Amino acid sequence: MQEANSLDISVVIPLYNEEESLPELMEWINRVCTANNFSYEVIMIDDGSKDKSWSVVQELSSQYTQLKGISFRRNYGKSAALNVGFTHAEGDVIITMDADLQDSPDEIPELFQMIKEEGFDLVSGWKKKRHDPISKTVPTKLFNWATRKMSGIHLNDFNCGLKAYRKDVIKSIEVYGEMHRYIPVIAKWAGFTKIGEKVVQHQERKYGVTKFGLERFINGFLDLFSITFMGKFGKRPMHFFGLIGTIMFIIGFGFFLWLGIYKLFIDTGSKLLADRTEFYLALVAMIVGVQMFLAGFLGEMIARSNPQRNNYLIKEKSNFSE
C-alpha cells in the first residue's frame, strides 16, 4: 500500500550551463504534473556550472516548493549528478531528463503509466526522429548496436536522457564514472529485467550548445567493456583471467613439449631448440598464461576482501518477522 505522504514522481535533472532553459523547463514540468494530479518533486543537480544556473535554480525554488537544488563545487559529470539525484529522490517513479529542453515533459504521464500500471522496472526513451547532425547520429547508431549485442538488451537508444524507473531500481544501483549511458545494463545485472522502450519526441535545442564531444563515443565503448566485465566477473575474476591463463599455459607447454620430443627423438641433427621461432612463441604463451592466472588469483583475493562481497539484492520476503 502506498504511504500517505509518498510522492508519485521525482524528476531528476542534471544540468551544466543551462541558465536560459531552466525557467521554461520548470514551468513545463509543473504544468504537466498539475494537469495530471501528480504529487511530485524536481531535483536539479548543478554540475559545477560556470554561468548563472545555480542562481536561477535558487530563484525558482522560492517560486516552486516542489523544486530542490543541489550544486557541485566543480564539474563531476552526468553520472555523478544522476547518482546524487537518485540518492535524494523520494518518488515512487523516478523520471530523468536533460535540462536543455530537448526532452519533453509531456512524456511524463505515459512513462509513469508504463511503470505503475504496465509493471516495467525501467522505461527508456527512444528519440526515433532526431534533430542532430550526421556526425552525432551515425556514431550513436553504432554505439547502440554494439551495446545491444554485448548486453542482450533490445533498446534502440540507450543514451536517451529521458527515462523512467521504479524506485527500487535506482535505490539498488550505483552510477559512477561515465556509466549513465549504461543504466539499463546496470539494472539488468542487478536483476531488473523488465525493461521497456517508448518513442519520445526530440526537441530541437533552443538555447546554448551541446556539452558533449566525439570523445564521449570512445569513452562509451571503453565503459561498455568495463560494465560488461564487472557484471559477469566482478565477484569472480578468477573465472575470467584464470581460465584464459590456464588455456594459454597449456597451449604453450604442449607446444614446448612437442618441440622437445621432436628435437630429442626425430630431428636430432637440426638447429638448436633455442634458435627456433616456435620455442619463443611457446615460452611467451606460458609466461603470459602464468601472468593471467596470477591476475585472476590476485583479483579473487581482492574480491574476497571486499566488505560488499555478499551484498545481494533481495526482491521480497515472506513470513519473516521484522
Q: What is the pLDDT of residues 118-144, one digit of tens each?
A: 999 999 999 887 766 665 666 777 778
As a whole number of angstroms, the distance between CA 223 and CA 229 comes to 10
Domain boundaries, the chain: 7-233, 238-305
Is residue 295 scored above 70 in pLDDT?
A: yes
Q: Are 67 and 29 in contact (CB under 8 A)?
A: no
Distances (CA, A) of 307 to 83, 234, 237: 21, 14, 16
Question: Percent of the chain beyond pLDDT 70?
Answer: 77
As a whole number of angstroms, the distance between CA 40 and CA 166 comes to 14
DSSP 240: I
Taking the CA of residue 124 as centre, how many other CA atoms within 13 Å lie in the half-sphere pointing to its CB? 24
pTM score: 0.71
Residue 95's nearest CA partner among 78, 77, 115, 76 is 115
CATH among 2.60.40.10, 3.30.930.10, 3.90.550.10, 3.30.70.1560 for 7-233:
3.90.550.10
Q: E-strand spans in the chain? A: 7-15, 40-46, 67-71, 91-96, 122-126, 163-166, 195-199
As a whole number of angstroms, the distance between CA 192 and CA 315 comes to 10
Per residue in 65-102, pLDDT (tens digit) is: 999 999 999 998 888 899 999 999 999 999 999 998 88
